[in-house]
Structure 1
Amino acid sequence: MRAVLSVFAAVVLAATGAGCARVTAVGNAAEPPAAAGDWPAGAKEAEVYAQVLRRYLSAPGENSFPAGSIAAVYVLDRAVPGAADPVAPKTGGEPIAESTQREVVAALADLHVIRFIADRATVIVKKDGCEQVKDGGILVNLGPVDGDDNDVTVGVYGYVACLGATWLTYTVHNDSGAGGWRVTGTTGPMAIS
Protein backbone atom coordinates (compact mmCIF):
# COMPACT_ATOMS: atom_id res chain seq x y z
CA MET A 1 0.00 0.00 0.00
CA ARG A 2 2.85 2.37 0.85
CA ALA A 3 4.41 1.80 -2.57
CA VAL A 4 1.12 2.64 -4.31
CA LEU A 5 0.74 5.86 -2.28
CA SER A 6 4.35 6.85 -3.04
CA VAL A 7 3.81 6.29 -6.77
CA PHE A 8 0.50 8.20 -6.60
CA ALA A 9 2.16 11.11 -4.73
CA ALA A 10 5.00 11.18 -7.28
CA VAL A 11 2.50 11.32 -10.16
CA VAL A 12 0.53 14.14 -8.47
CA LEU A 13 3.70 16.13 -7.75
CA ALA A 14 4.96 15.67 -11.29
CA ALA A 15 1.63 16.79 -12.75
CA THR A 16 1.46 19.77 -10.41
CA GLY A 17 5.04 20.74 -11.22
CA ALA A 18 4.43 20.47 -14.95
CA GLY A 19 1.30 22.58 -14.58
CA CYS A 20 3.24 25.26 -12.73
CA ALA A 21 6.02 25.19 -15.29
CA ARG A 22 3.48 25.56 -18.07
CA VAL A 23 1.85 28.57 -16.40
CA THR A 24 5.24 30.20 -15.92
CA ALA A 25 6.23 29.61 -19.54
CA VAL A 26 2.93 30.87 -20.98
CA GLY A 27 2.47 33.77 -18.59
CA ASN A 28 -0.56 35.03 -16.75
CA ALA A 29 -3.75 33.56 -18.20
CA ALA A 30 -5.49 36.93 -17.69
CA GLU A 31 -3.10 38.65 -20.15
CA PRO A 32 -4.31 38.70 -23.76
CA PRO A 33 -2.11 37.11 -26.41
CA ALA A 34 0.34 39.38 -28.21
CA ALA A 35 -1.26 41.44 -30.99
CA ALA A 36 -0.22 41.18 -34.61
CA GLY A 37 1.55 44.52 -34.19
CA ASP A 38 4.55 43.22 -32.26
CA TRP A 39 7.20 44.59 -34.61
CA PRO A 40 10.94 44.90 -34.25
CA ALA A 41 11.97 48.07 -32.44
CA GLY A 42 11.27 51.15 -34.52
CA ALA A 43 9.12 49.45 -37.18
CA LYS A 44 5.85 50.85 -35.87
CA GLU A 45 7.28 54.36 -35.65
CA ALA A 46 8.61 54.22 -39.22
CA GLU A 47 5.29 53.03 -40.63
CA VAL A 48 3.27 55.53 -38.60
CA TYR A 49 5.56 58.50 -39.31
CA ALA A 50 5.61 57.70 -43.03
CA GLN A 51 1.80 57.69 -43.17
CA VAL A 52 1.51 60.87 -41.09
CA LEU A 53 4.02 62.73 -43.28
CA ARG A 54 2.40 61.44 -46.48
CA ARG A 55 -1.00 62.72 -45.33
CA TYR A 56 0.32 66.03 -44.01
CA LEU A 57 2.40 66.85 -47.09
CA SER A 58 -0.40 65.82 -49.48
CA ALA A 59 -3.31 67.62 -47.83
CA PRO A 60 -3.38 71.39 -48.51
CA GLY A 61 -6.46 71.63 -46.29
CA GLU A 62 -4.41 70.40 -43.36
CA ASN A 63 -0.99 71.92 -44.05
CA SER A 64 -2.45 75.18 -45.46
CA PHE A 65 0.03 75.29 -48.35
CA PRO A 66 -1.05 74.99 -51.99
CA ALA A 67 -0.35 71.64 -53.67
CA GLY A 68 3.10 71.55 -55.23
CA SER A 69 4.32 74.64 -53.36
CA ILE A 70 6.60 72.80 -50.93
CA ALA A 71 10.00 72.48 -52.56
CA ALA A 72 11.99 70.89 -49.73
CA VAL A 73 10.98 68.90 -46.66
CA TYR A 74 13.08 68.96 -43.48
CA VAL A 75 12.06 66.86 -40.48
CA LEU A 76 13.52 67.33 -37.01
CA ASP A 77 15.33 64.14 -35.98
CA ARG A 78 13.57 63.81 -32.64
CA ALA A 79 9.97 63.37 -31.50
CA VAL A 80 8.97 66.58 -29.73
CA PRO A 81 6.25 66.34 -27.06
CA GLY A 82 3.59 68.99 -27.62
CA ALA A 83 4.43 69.33 -31.32
CA ALA A 84 0.75 70.03 -32.10
CA ASP A 85 0.46 72.74 -29.43
CA PRO A 86 1.23 76.27 -30.73
CA VAL A 87 2.34 77.50 -27.31
CA ALA A 88 4.40 74.46 -26.23
CA PRO A 89 8.18 74.76 -26.52
CA LYS A 90 9.61 72.97 -29.55
CA THR A 91 12.71 71.76 -27.72
CA GLY A 92 13.87 68.46 -26.29
CA GLY A 93 12.29 65.21 -27.27
CA GLU A 94 13.42 61.66 -27.93
CA PRO A 95 15.68 60.96 -30.90
CA ILE A 96 14.05 59.22 -33.85
CA ALA A 97 16.21 56.17 -34.57
CA GLU A 98 18.38 56.37 -37.69
CA SER A 99 16.83 53.14 -38.98
CA THR A 100 13.38 54.72 -38.60
CA GLN A 101 14.57 57.83 -40.43
CA ARG A 102 15.90 55.72 -43.33
CA GLU A 103 12.62 53.80 -43.60
CA VAL A 104 10.58 57.02 -43.64
CA VAL A 105 12.80 58.56 -46.33
CA ALA A 106 12.49 55.42 -48.46
CA ALA A 107 8.71 55.16 -47.97
CA LEU A 108 8.18 58.77 -49.12
CA ALA A 109 10.67 58.83 -52.01
CA ASP A 110 7.76 58.96 -54.47
CA LEU A 111 6.37 62.10 -52.80
CA HIS A 112 9.30 64.27 -51.65
CA VAL A 113 12.94 64.11 -50.75
CA ILE A 114 12.83 64.06 -46.96
CA ARG A 115 15.86 65.24 -44.99
CA PHE A 116 16.10 64.66 -41.25
CA ILE A 117 17.99 67.43 -39.46
CA ALA A 118 19.38 67.83 -35.94
CA ASP A 119 19.01 71.61 -35.58
CA ARG A 120 16.24 73.81 -36.96
CA ALA A 121 18.70 76.72 -37.23
CA THR A 122 20.44 74.91 -40.12
CA VAL A 123 17.39 75.40 -42.38
CA ILE A 124 16.07 78.78 -41.21
CA VAL A 125 17.00 81.96 -43.07
CA LYS A 126 15.87 85.53 -42.54
CA LYS A 127 14.34 87.34 -45.52
CA ASP A 128 12.60 90.72 -45.38
CA GLY A 129 12.58 90.56 -41.57
CA CYS A 130 10.82 87.18 -41.53
CA GLU A 131 12.34 83.84 -40.61
CA GLN A 132 11.56 81.19 -43.19
CA VAL A 133 12.70 77.73 -44.24
CA LYS A 134 15.40 77.83 -46.91
CA ASP A 135 14.90 76.56 -50.45
CA GLY A 136 11.13 77.10 -50.36
CA GLY A 137 10.85 74.30 -47.84
CA ILE A 138 8.93 73.25 -44.79
CA LEU A 139 10.28 72.20 -41.40
CA VAL A 140 8.21 69.48 -39.71
CA ASN A 141 8.32 68.54 -36.04
CA LEU A 142 6.72 65.17 -35.27
CA GLY A 143 5.40 64.28 -31.86
CA PRO A 144 5.90 60.90 -30.20
CA VAL A 145 3.78 57.96 -31.41
CA ASP A 146 1.25 57.69 -28.59
CA GLY A 147 -1.08 54.70 -28.31
CA ASP A 148 -1.05 50.97 -28.78
CA ASP A 149 -0.63 48.39 -31.56
CA ASN A 150 -3.99 49.35 -33.09
CA ASP A 151 -4.56 53.10 -32.67
CA VAL A 152 -2.11 55.95 -32.14
CA THR A 153 -1.96 59.72 -32.32
CA VAL A 154 0.93 61.85 -33.59
CA GLY A 155 1.22 65.61 -33.21
CA VAL A 156 2.61 67.63 -36.12
CA TYR A 157 4.01 71.14 -36.36
CA GLY A 158 4.85 72.42 -39.83
CA TYR A 159 6.71 75.70 -40.29
CA VAL A 160 7.35 77.56 -43.56
CA ALA A 161 7.67 81.20 -42.51
CA CYS A 162 6.68 83.67 -39.80
CA LEU A 163 3.08 83.64 -41.08
CA GLY A 164 3.02 80.12 -42.39
CA ALA A 165 2.67 77.37 -39.80
CA THR A 166 0.21 74.65 -38.82
CA TRP A 167 -0.33 72.51 -35.73
CA LEU A 168 -2.54 69.42 -35.60
CA THR A 169 -2.76 65.85 -34.28
CA TYR A 170 -3.39 62.88 -36.54
CA THR A 171 -5.14 59.67 -35.58
CA VAL A 172 -3.62 56.57 -37.17
CA HIS A 173 -5.18 53.09 -37.21
CA ASN A 174 -3.50 49.74 -37.84
CA ASP A 175 -5.76 47.77 -40.17
CA SER A 176 -3.81 44.64 -41.04
CA GLY A 177 -6.46 43.61 -43.59
CA ALA A 178 -6.14 46.91 -45.50
CA GLY A 179 -2.38 47.20 -45.65
CA GLY A 180 -1.28 48.31 -42.20
CA TRP A 181 -1.20 51.79 -40.71
CA ARG A 182 -3.29 54.58 -42.23
CA VAL A 183 -4.30 58.05 -41.11
CA THR A 184 -8.00 58.13 -40.26
CA GLY A 185 -8.34 61.82 -39.42
CA THR A 186 -7.38 64.43 -36.87
CA THR A 187 -8.23 64.90 -33.23
CA GLY A 188 -8.25 67.92 -30.95
CA PRO A 189 -7.60 71.50 -31.98
CA MET A 190 -5.91 72.61 -35.18
CA ALA A 191 -4.10 75.94 -35.50
CA ILE A 192 -2.87 77.89 -38.52
CA SER A 193 -0.79 81.06 -38.66
Structure 2
Amino acid sequence: MAAVLAVAVLSGCAATATEATGAAADWPAGMKEAEVYSAVLRQFLGSPSDNTFPGMTFATVYVLDRDEGGTPIAANTREQVTKTLTDVTSVQFIADRESVLETPNGCARVKNGGMLVTLGPVDGDDNEVTVHVNGFLACLGASMLTYVVHRNDPGPGWTVTGTTGPRSVA
Protein backbone atom coordinates (compact mmCIF):
# COMPACT_ATOMS: atom_id res chain seq x y z
CA MET A 1 0.00 0.00 0.00
CA ALA A 2 1.55 3.25 -1.04
CA ALA A 3 0.84 6.24 1.09
CA VAL A 4 2.28 9.69 1.36
CA LEU A 5 2.46 12.00 4.36
CA ALA A 6 1.62 15.64 4.22
CA VAL A 7 2.87 17.83 6.98
CA ALA A 8 2.31 21.36 8.18
CA VAL A 9 4.81 23.07 10.37
CA LEU A 10 5.12 26.36 12.17
CA SER A 11 8.07 28.24 10.76
CA GLY A 12 11.00 29.03 12.96
CA CYS A 13 12.85 30.89 10.21
CA ALA A 14 15.03 33.81 11.12
CA ALA A 15 14.40 37.20 9.63
CA THR A 16 14.04 36.99 5.89
CA ALA A 17 12.71 38.97 2.99
CA THR A 18 9.19 38.20 4.20
CA GLU A 19 9.62 40.84 6.89
CA ALA A 20 8.90 43.31 4.17
CA THR A 21 5.36 43.69 3.00
CA GLY A 22 6.41 43.15 -0.59
CA ALA A 23 5.10 40.51 -2.94
CA ALA A 24 6.61 37.05 -3.30
CA ALA A 25 8.65 38.38 -6.20
CA ASP A 26 10.65 40.29 -3.58
CA TRP A 27 11.70 37.04 -1.87
CA PRO A 28 14.81 35.17 -2.88
CA ALA A 29 13.99 32.18 -5.09
CA GLY A 30 12.54 29.32 -3.06
CA MET A 31 12.33 31.28 0.23
CA LYS A 32 8.52 31.41 0.34
CA GLU A 33 8.32 27.67 -0.27
CA ALA A 34 11.01 26.96 2.37
CA GLU A 35 9.19 29.01 4.99
CA VAL A 36 5.82 27.47 4.17
CA TYR A 37 7.12 23.87 4.05
CA SER A 38 8.99 24.42 7.34
CA ALA A 39 5.82 25.71 9.00
CA VAL A 40 3.78 22.80 7.66
CA LEU A 41 6.29 20.12 8.71
CA ARG A 42 6.74 21.65 12.18
CA GLN A 43 2.96 21.61 12.69
CA PHE A 44 2.47 18.11 11.33
CA LEU A 45 5.33 16.51 13.24
CA GLY A 46 4.51 18.32 16.47
CA SER A 47 0.78 17.62 16.51
CA PRO A 48 -0.40 14.06 17.25
CA SER A 49 -3.92 15.09 16.29
CA ASP A 50 -2.59 15.90 12.81
CA ASN A 51 -0.07 13.11 12.31
CA THR A 52 -2.21 10.58 14.24
CA PHE A 53 0.81 9.05 15.99
CA PRO A 54 0.54 10.19 19.63
CA GLY A 55 3.63 9.84 21.71
CA MET A 56 5.85 9.05 18.74
CA THR A 57 8.95 10.93 17.76
CA PHE A 58 10.74 10.18 14.54
CA ALA A 59 14.52 10.01 14.44
CA THR A 60 14.40 10.79 10.75
CA VAL A 61 11.72 12.21 8.51
CA TYR A 62 12.27 11.41 4.86
CA VAL A 63 10.69 13.94 2.50
CA LEU A 64 10.39 13.32 -1.23
CA ASP A 65 12.45 15.83 -3.19
CA ARG A 66 9.51 16.63 -5.46
CA ASP A 67 5.94 17.57 -4.66
CA GLU A 68 3.06 15.15 -5.13
CA GLY A 69 2.57 16.47 -8.67
CA GLY A 70 6.16 15.58 -9.57
CA THR A 71 7.59 19.12 -9.58
CA PRO A 72 11.09 19.14 -8.02
CA ILE A 73 11.53 21.02 -4.76
CA ALA A 74 14.45 23.41 -5.34
CA ALA A 75 17.78 22.57 -3.70
CA ASN A 76 17.90 25.86 -1.76
CA THR A 77 14.37 25.20 -0.47
CA ARG A 78 15.36 21.70 0.69
CA GLU A 79 18.49 23.06 2.39
CA GLN A 80 16.56 25.76 4.25
CA VAL A 81 13.85 23.33 5.42
CA THR A 82 16.49 20.90 6.68
CA LYS A 83 18.30 23.68 8.61
CA THR A 84 15.10 25.18 10.02
CA LEU A 85 13.84 21.90 11.46
CA THR A 86 17.01 20.70 13.22
CA ASP A 87 15.32 21.42 16.56
CA VAL A 88 12.46 19.07 15.61
CA THR A 89 14.10 16.09 13.88
CA SER A 90 16.52 15.07 11.18
CA VAL A 91 14.95 15.83 7.80
CA GLN A 92 16.38 14.10 4.74
CA PHE A 93 15.11 14.78 1.25
CA ILE A 94 15.15 11.66 -0.90
CA ALA A 95 14.64 10.98 -4.61
CA ASP A 96 13.11 7.50 -4.32
CA ARG A 97 10.49 6.57 -1.75
CA GLU A 98 11.32 2.89 -2.18
CA SER A 99 14.83 3.57 -0.85
CA VAL A 100 13.45 4.08 2.68
CA LEU A 101 10.84 1.31 2.70
CA GLU A 102 11.16 -2.27 3.79
CA THR A 103 8.48 -4.94 3.48
CA PRO A 104 8.68 -7.63 6.14
CA ASN A 105 5.71 -10.00 6.10
CA GLY A 106 4.13 -8.16 3.17
CA CYS A 107 3.56 -4.89 5.07
CA ALA A 108 5.58 -1.90 3.87
CA ARG A 109 7.06 0.34 6.56
CA VAL A 110 9.64 3.12 6.77
CA LYS A 111 13.11 1.95 7.79
CA ASN A 112 14.64 2.76 11.16
CA GLY A 113 11.38 3.98 12.68
CA GLY A 114 11.25 6.96 10.36
CA MET A 115 8.40 8.68 8.59
CA LEU A 116 8.01 9.29 4.86
CA VAL A 117 6.39 12.59 3.90
CA THR A 118 5.17 13.81 0.55
CA LEU A 119 4.28 17.48 0.27
CA GLY A 120 1.88 19.09 -2.15
CA PRO A 121 2.74 22.27 -4.02
CA VAL A 122 2.45 25.61 -2.24
CA ASP A 123 -0.86 26.78 -3.67
CA GLY A 124 -2.15 30.30 -3.10
CA ASP A 125 -1.01 33.90 -3.04
CA ASP A 126 1.46 36.03 -1.10
CA ASN A 127 -0.64 35.96 2.08
CA GLU A 128 -2.48 32.62 2.25
CA VAL A 129 -1.59 29.22 0.84
CA THR A 130 -2.61 25.60 1.20
CA VAL A 131 -0.28 22.61 1.28
CA HIS A 132 -1.34 18.96 1.15
CA VAL A 133 0.69 16.64 3.39
CA ASN A 134 0.86 12.88 3.25
CA GLY A 135 2.70 11.02 6.00
CA PHE A 136 3.46 7.32 5.90
CA LEU A 137 4.85 4.98 8.57
CA ALA A 138 3.58 1.56 7.56
CA CYS A 139 0.83 -0.20 5.63
CA LEU A 140 -1.64 0.59 8.42
CA GLY A 141 -0.07 3.84 9.54
CA ALA A 142 -0.59 6.89 7.38
CA SER A 143 -2.37 10.23 7.42
CA MET A 144 -3.19 12.94 4.90
CA LEU A 145 -4.53 16.44 5.30
CA THR A 146 -4.29 19.91 3.81
CA TYR A 147 -3.03 22.84 5.85
CA VAL A 148 -4.00 26.48 5.50
CA VAL A 149 -0.96 28.68 6.06
CA HIS A 150 -0.90 32.48 6.49
CA ARG A 151 1.98 34.88 6.12
CA ASN A 152 2.97 36.63 9.33
CA ASP A 153 2.47 40.32 8.79
CA PRO A 154 4.21 42.06 10.38
CA GLY A 155 7.07 39.68 10.96
CA PRO A 156 8.94 36.89 9.25
CA GLY A 157 7.67 33.51 8.23
CA TRP A 158 4.38 31.75 7.89
CA THR A 159 1.98 30.17 10.41
CA VAL A 160 -0.35 27.20 10.01
CA THR A 161 -3.83 28.43 10.93
CA GLY A 162 -5.90 25.33 10.28
CA THR A 163 -6.85 22.63 7.80
CA THR A 164 -9.24 22.43 4.90
CA GLY A 165 -10.91 19.59 3.06
CA PRO A 166 -10.94 15.90 3.93
CA ARG A 167 -8.53 14.09 6.24
CA SER A 168 -7.54 10.48 5.84
CA VAL A 169 -6.08 8.11 8.42
CA ALA A 170 -4.99 4.51 7.99
| Structure with greater helix percent | 1
Give the 3 Å change call, closer, same or farther, for CA 40–69 of structure 1 in structure 2. Answer: closer
Deviations 1:92-131 (A, max 9, x none): x100011100000000001101000000010000123210
Q: Match for 1:121 among 82, 92, 98?
A: 98
Q: Match for 2:52 among 60, 64, 67?
A: 64
Q: How far apart, CA to CA, are the structure 2 residues paired with 1:148 and 1:181? A: 12
Any conservation in 2 of the 1:156–1:168 contact (CA below 8 Å)?
yes
Q: Match of 1:176, SS?
A: coil
Shift of 1:36: 4.5
Any conservation in 2 of the 1:159–1:165 contact (CA below 8 Å)?
yes
The total of aligned residue pairs comes to: 149
Q: How far apart, CA to CA, are the structure 1 residues paired with 2:34 and 2:162? A: 19
Identity %: 55
Q: Match for 2:63 among 75, 83, 97?
A: 75
Q: Does 1:54 align with 2:42?
A: yes
Give the corresponding residue for 1:110.
87
Q: Match for 1:147 among 124, 141, 159?
A: 124
Give the corresponding residue for 2:113.
136
Matched letter for residue 186 of structure 1: T
4+ runs deviating over 3 angstroms: 34-37
Query: TM-score, normalized by length of structure 1?
Result: 0.74
Deviations 1:59-88 (A, max 9, x none): 00010112333232100000113xxxxxxx
Unaligned runs of 5+ in 1: 1-33, 82-92
Unaligned runs of 5+ in 2: 1-20
Shift of 1:178: 4.4
Give the corresponding residue for 1:165.
142
Q: How far apart, CA to CA, are the structure 1 residues paired with 2:33 and 2:55? A: 26
Q: How far apart, CA to CA, are the structure 1 residues paired with 2:68 and 2:27? A: 23
Query: TM-score, normalized by length of structure 2?
Result: 0.84
C-alpha root-mean-square deviation of aligned residues, in Å?
1.3
